[in-house]
Amino acid sequence: MARGTNDRALAQLREEVSNMKQMVMLSLLKQQSASERLRGVNWSYQIEQPDEQVLSALLRALDSDPNVNVRLAAVDALQQFARRALVKKGLLDHCRANSRRWSRLN
């Protein structure tokens, strides 16, 4: 009985730590400083199973962050979650939108 209780407590603690990491990442991505947003993207490497909110935030950073380094870091970070449907769709949408932009420039 004690082992089951300990296992549940440990699982709950892991979930709380994961939730805290996600909150830190999301908070950093909202900062005005590009270096803070870059730190936020880097926090994603510590999150094993990010929720949809985290993945969406990384996709938003890729699509619209004013700093090129943050956008590039977001691409790298999203690579680890490339098998997730939301990420696949977001990356494809981003590529399509950018190819249209480039074709208008030429």
Per-residue model confidence as pLDDT tens digits over 40-53: 999 999 998 999 99
Helices (H), the chain: 2-29, 34-43, 52-64, 68-79, 85-105
| Predicted local confidence at residue 105, as pLDDT | 60
Higher pLDDT, 59 or 1: 59
**Mean pLDDT of all residues belonging to the chain:** 92
From CA 44, how far away is CA 24, in angstroms rounded? 10
**What's the pLDDT band for 25 if we cut at 50, 70, 90?**
very high
pTM: 0.85
